[in-house]
Structures are given as structure tokens and as C-alpha cells.
Copies of this chain bind each other. A is one copy, B any other.
């Protein structure tokens, strides 16, 4: 368990700092990245490093939550474009090889939305 948690902490720290050799070292050779809601896919270590290294903009991220166990992990990050107001939330599901390398990454980016009037009586707003 601790190992998967540590790998994901190192993954995001390397991504934020642009330490691409460290980042690459955590990925399986045939790692697959998917963003199911935009139907984006990136295949293989080199392409996944490039996707992150060349991801447009001047950005930073910080891990807000991390759940790890049973050869899996899920993180929630705060993603910030320098000079823009507001931040995005990224949720990533990770799968690992038996050697502890990352073999699958699945990303979700939930946006803010208005509570529908139909359930206004069931919750409070904060």
C-alpha cells in the first residue's frame, strides 16, 4: 500500500517540477493514459512523458487527496494555470505492474455546476 502511495507522490512531484527523468522512471514501458471524457489516449512511456512535458501553458499542481491500496491508487490534484484565476480539479485512477511501475492512468476533470432546483430541498449550499 505504502509503495503505491509513495510512487504517486513522486509522480506528481516530478510532474510539477518538470523532472522528466524521474517521472519516466515510474512508468511501465507500455503505460497507457486515457481521459475518458475527452476520449484522449496516449500510448507508451515516451509519449506519456511528452504529453505531460509539452502540456500547453505554464502550470502547477498540488496533490489534495490520495487513496492507495490493493495495487491501485486514486489521486485528486489541484491544477493551476499561472496568471489565470481559479483552479481545476483532476482525479486520476492508477494501475500498477507487479514491479510497482504505473501501467494505466485514467484522468477525470470535473467542472463546477449549479445545483438543480429539483433537489434544492435535499441539501444545503456551502
Contacts and interface: CB of A to CB of B under 8 A. Distances in A.
B122 A37 contact: no
A56 interface: yes
Given A67-B93, A93-B67, A124-B42, A113 B119 contact: no
A67 B65 contact: no
The interface residues of chain A, by DSSP majority, are classed as: mixed
Nearest to A38: B115
Given A89-B36, A108-B89, A124 B41 contact: yes
Kindly state the interface size class of chain A when it binds its partner: 35 or more
30 contacts: A1-B1, A5-B70, A33-B123, A35-B115, A37-B111, A37-B112, A38-B112, A38-B113, A38-B114, A38-B115, A38-B125, A39-B125, A39-B126, A40-B123, A40-B125, A41-B125, A41-B126, A42-B122, A42-B123, A50-B122, A51-B119, A54-B122, A55-B119, A55-B122, A56-B119, A67-B70, A76-B93, A91-B110, A108-B110, A110-B110
Interface of A: 1, 5, 33-43, 47, 50-51, 54-56, 65, 67-70, 72-74, 76, 89, 91, 93, 108-116, 118-119, 122-126
